[in-house]
Structure 1
Amino acid sequence: MSSAALETDASTRLEITLPPAAALIELQRTGLLEDWLAQRIRQELQQLHPCLETLQHRWFHQSAVSLYLREARQNLDQVVFCLIRLDDSELGSELAQEIYFRLLANELDPARPGLDGSLFGHPAAAVRSSRIGPTPLGSLQPQLADRLRISRPGVPQSPFSIAKGELLIVQLEQRLPASLDPATQRRLEHTLFNDWLQQRCRSALPQLEAAAAAGPEVTAQPKAAGPAIAIPLPD
């Protein structure tokens, strides 16, 4: 199957011919067995169709719609926000409270370039500000994403910590509700394809390891190809 042109609606699996045992043993030694298999599966799929994105759409279109309906509010909405970072020290905690109350009073722009401790009489204090987004909520650290989900635009969240040694102040600027536009559809299909590929590689790994373990009797002929393994395709 690996050398023949196939119709995707008629094929149910890929047959991947394994390399010689010596090559398998080397891939196993370097921890690259799964990477090798993922690359080979991609190559074989391009034999089925030159545009991998078309296959992803064919196989995962409906699943992408279901994934969107499950996760739109949780992970796919995009946000633009300002993030201020301070050291989690006694001085940092005092500055964090001062910055927070000045933000509440609209006396400070959280995205101001050059925002640092000198504005508060502490030039040596580490204060770092940045404007982030648009970015999907699902791509953010979970505790930060949770804060942004409950935020109202223009209202800062009180200082909090999600990593040892650092305090954060976050202020939402804009929330962009997700919509199932073509770009989002393609992104979800790509995610589902990668999940499928990872699962197939992990499922096939014991076969690869077994073939490598059976290698000594084959390594005397290093150019001899190994057996083939079957990779089921999506329905």
Structure 2
Amino acid sequence: MRVFGKLGLPAWTSAFALCLGCQAGPTQISIPTVNPGTAAAGAIELADKDGDEAISKEEAVATPSLLAVFEKYDANTDGRIDAAEIEGQIASWYAKAPMVFPVRCLVKMDGRPLMGAKVVFEPEPFLGVDLGEGVSDVGAAGDCGPSLLPERLGKIPYGMFCGLYRAKITHPSRQIPAKYNEHTELGFEVSPSLNPNDPPVLSLSSK
């Protein structure tokens, strides 16, 4: 399993170049896409508990990835995310190539790097089954880079497809609360706006 080290801008752009080149020739890979309208309707069906055809911040706990990007998706700042807002954000993933991105995040528990933890990015159920999971171990500085299995990526060394993911974290020797794995509250968006030189932090508490 890959342990993600520090990814500088040259490595990041190289991965993009490989992605751009993966669309032709014998190494062509299949990049799945999500139907924005169908996914948006599925998200509302999953999380909208009061029947107002929108997702409040309280309701977004049912979809951890939407909770993580709530302010970004709430385009009109009315405190709710509706289907049109979700559809618009998902459609933006495919506005231009590439659609495979290197992912970098930091994992800390009680403010300290959670070295040796395993991180799994699991697609939200309303996105369908084609995106696949990303997996990574956490390094000494807390760095990790969940990635698809090599057979999904061809010559691209690592990366994930655009999507909304639930982050599940376990550790071989430390007790991790269920709210970070089995009943995770952690979410992550893989999109063109990712900047691996300014990685998000997945912050855990042992309490």
Larger RCO, structure (CA 8 Å, separation 6 or more): 1
The normalised TM-score by structure 1 is: 0.19
Pair member with larger Rg: 1
User: Normalised by the size of structure 2, how large is the TM-score?
Assistant: 0.21
More helix per residue: 1
